[in-house]
Amino acid sequence: MAEFREIQLPQPKTKGVVSLEEAIAQRRSVRDFSAKELGLDEISQLLWAAQGITSRKAGFSLRAAPSAGALYPMELYLLSKDGLFHYLPEGHKLEVFSAKDLRGPLADACLGQAAVRKAAAVIVICGVAERITGKYAERGIRYMHIEAGHIAQNIHLEAVALGLASVPIGAFNDAEVDKILGLAKGCHTFYIIPVGHKS
């Protein structure tokens, strides 16, 4: 198995200046992004809100978004001008998968949506069905879709709290996106979220 370089993310904050109610009221889908990049602290906060470890109990970790049976079948990938990264909740780190900017090919696989190409970062929510179907059989697939929604809402609200913009993307060629990300067999894309500064 290939060895990937890891990037330690800054410690996430658990207190901000925007209330949850304000974030809900202000959240809108934004497709026009400026060229300003995201800082590592912003990336850290977004990924922590999505899948970060928030508690440890009885020998296992609990995360920011709920998961049926605490089985956590979802995986997060981040694309930026600096490359393709895989989020590791344990240790709050990024694995560097590639130094190539893959936002262009990803935008093409998203039916040419410019927001995917222009956003400073694109977070892709993927999942591994066998992690959950062993316990819940076919119902586990439904739970994965529900969990993807939990994760996505956390990302959208955290973006607002950070003064950033985001947009949900559901129109994409599944097989093409999986191929661009180089996903392992059994791992598939559920949801794509461009995030950045408003233009």
Residue 133: CATH number of its domain: 3.40.109.10
**Any domain includes 15:** no
What's residue 3's pLDDT? 54
Measured at the CA of 102, the angle between CA 8 and CA 29, to 5 degrees, comes to 85
Mean pLDDT by 10 residues, the chain (199 residues): 78 95 97 97 98 90 96 98 97 97 98 98 98 97 98 98 98 98 97 97
d(CA 1, CA 72): 23
Domain region containing 113: 20-196
Quote the number of domains for the chain.
1
What's residue 1's pLDDT? 38
**Any domain includes 12:** no
**Any domain includes 14:** no
What's residue 4's pLDDT? 67
The predicted model scores a pTM of 0.96
**Any domain includes 10:** no
**Any domain includes 133:** yes
> Tokens in use for 134?
């062993």
